[in-house]
Amino acid sequence: MKGLQEQSDTNAVFLTIKHHGIVQESKVAREDFKPVEVTNPRTGETFTKFIKRYKAVEALINKIEWRDTGQQYEQRYMGFKIYLDADGVPCVLDLPFESRQCTRFMKLAENIDYTKPVEFRAWHDKQTDSTAFFVGQGQNGDGKTISVPQKYTRDNPGDCPPPVQKFNGKWNFDDQTEFLYERMMSVVIPRVDAAVAMRAEQNGHEPRGEGEPQFDTTEPPDIDPDDIPF
């Protein structure tokens, strides 16, 4: 029995990849936040949000958590939450499961060294009019961050199933995303947990667990047009 438990406040920064960048969102005006017009892709309704852009986030990954709202809301949300320690500032990076950014992360996640910091960047790729997503670790001789290579690529897919083209010409990625999800759950997340335990042992303290940022479940997450399947 755990009895009465107090809820501690958190100064965690909740980040998402939207508006062609890594941003912190707010439904109300805040200092250093700029207004943006957003259209709900389901209803067509336009409203104003306020965002703060970040050029990059370099941090240690403390935890990767799967979230599935199931039938809680009219629109189901599935995705990974990446808990970060950005030089002492707790952050959470949200990667909706059916977003391009999540697919890219899953394809490279097994090549990350989780005992060391990781850099995340996102920007507007004007050539494709889409959001480019960079995950890097370490530096080359010129002092530039090295891009983490994908473990699974089109030319070298390994065990990752290829997409299947249906009779109507559309591509189906279900087998591929299911494979990548299973690798995240069975390989990547245990590696993260092991790395966190190793860092904690080296620093002489217990692994973090209590006081992690909690998500407000009183309303469904917002779904951005960039989050829809490709």
Q: Are 22 and 120 in contact (CB under 8 A)?
A: yes
Q: What is the pLDDT of residue 98?
A: 87
How far is residue 129 from each of residues 27, 124, 125, 148, measured CA to CA in Å? 26, 7, 5, 23
Residue 230: per-residue pLDDT:
26
Burial class (CB in 10 A: 0-12, 13-18, 19+), 144: exposed
State the burial class of residue 42 (Cβ atoms within 10 Å of its Cβ: 0-12, 13-18, 19+). Answer: exposed
Residue 1 lies in a domain: no
Asked if 93 and 57 count as a contact pair (C-beta separation under 8 A), the reply is yes
> Which residue range is the domain that position 178 belongs to?
13-206
Strand stretches in the chain, DSSP E: 13-18, 21-26, 34-39, 46-54, 57-68, 78-86, 89-96, 118-125, 130-139, 145-147, 164-165, 171-172
Domain tally for the chain? 1
Strands 78-86 and 57-68: antiparallel
Can you give the pLDDT at residue 217?
A: 37
What is the bridge-based pairing of β-strands 89-96 and 78-86?
antiparallel
Residue 56: inside a domain: yes
Nearest-angstrom CA–CA distance, 95 and 102:
5
pLDDT for res 43? 81
As a whole number of angstroms, the distance between CA 230 and CA 228 comes to 7
Average pLDDT over residues 170-198: 96
170, part of any domain: yes
Are the C-beta atoms of residues 60 and 120 closer than 8 Å to each other?
A: no
Looking at residues 15-39, what average pLDDT do you find? 92
Please indicate, yes or no, if residue 218 is contained in any of the structural domains: no
| Residue 192 is assigned to a structural domain of this protein | yes
Taking CB atoms within 8 Å and a gap of at least 24, the contacts of 3-7 are 7/214
Query: What mean pLDDT is predicted for residues 202-208?
Result: 68
Report which DSSP code applies to 4: S
Distance (Å) of CA 161 to CA 61, 151, 158, 168, 176: 28, 13, 8, 20, 5
- Is 230 domain-assigned? no
| Better-predicted residue by pLDDT, 201 or 214 | 201
Q: What is the strand order of the sheet 57-68 is part of?
A: 34-39, 46-54, 21-26, 13-18, 89-96, 78-86, 57-68, 118-125, 130-139, 145-147
pLDDT in tens, 111-126: 999 999 999 999 999 9
- 80, 97 Cβ separation under 8 angstroms: yes
Residue 219 falls inside a structural domain: no
Q: Is residue 185 very low, low, confident or very high in pLDDT (cuts 50, 70, 90)? A: very high
pLDDT (0 to 100) of residue 212: 52
Residue 219 has pLDDT above 70, yes or no: no
Is the pLDDT at 211 greater than 50, yes or no?
no
Q: Mean pLDDT for the chain?
A: 85
Whether 195 is in a domain gets the answer yes
